[in-house]
Amino acid sequence: MVIEMKCPICEKGDLRNGEVEEEMFGVALGKFPAEICDKCGESFLDEEAMTKIEHKAKELGIWGLAEKLKVVKSGNSLVVRIPAKISKFLDIHVGDEILFYPEGKKKAVLETI
């Protein structure tokens, strides 16, 4: 007898075995086994898959890139420093130009150009 698990997110769909493509900071980490809701598409990874994802992210040098930063004042402007590990990942150097713009009220995007 197979017991179908209901999705804990939408509470309507059934969880089915499948594979999901995982990425971190826009870098593909690969496909991993997961339970996927047949209604809302939410996916759930087990501990083994999460360990593999963490290992792959560390191998690619992207584990721990997110960082809480402090905004400081410089003249009439506000300044946020770009940490070395993030500038290395983005390949940003002194003198490079970047495009910085809001994406809604709670998110900003920095693009290298």
Rounded-to-5 percentages of helix, strand, coil across the chain: 20, 35, 45
Average pLDDT over residues 100-112: 95
Please report whether residue 7 resides in a domain. no
Q: Are residues 20 and 54 in the same domain?
A: yes
pLDDT of residue 4: 73
Q: Are residues 54 and 32 in the same domain?
A: yes
Q: Are residues 83 and 48 in the same domain?
A: no
Q: Are residues 51 and 77 in the same domain?
A: no
Report the domain count for the chain: 2
Q: Are residues 43 and 20 in the same domain?
A: yes
Around Cβ 111, how many Cβ atoms within 10 Å? 10
Residue 36 lies in domain: 15-59
The DSSP output letter for 26 is T
Please report whether residue 65 resides in a domain. no
Query: Is pLDDT above 80 for 1?
Result: no
Q: Are residues 55 and 20 in the same domain?
A: yes
Local confidence band at 2 (pLDDT 50, 70, 90 cut-offs): low
Please report whether residue 9 resides in a domain. no
Predicted TM-score (pTM) of the model is: 0.73
Please report whether residue 64 resides in a domain. no
Local confidence band at 5 (pLDDT 50, 70, 90 cut-offs): confident
Nearest to 81 by CA among 72, 89, 92: 72
Please report whether residue 20 resides in a domain. yes
pLDDT of residue 97: 96
Read off the pLDDT of residues 53-95 as tens digits, 9 standing for 90 and up: 999 999 999 999 999 999 999 999 999 999 999 999 999 999 9
Local confidence band at 34 (pLDDT 50, 70, 90 cut-offs): very high
Nearest to 35 by CA among 53, 55, 13: 13
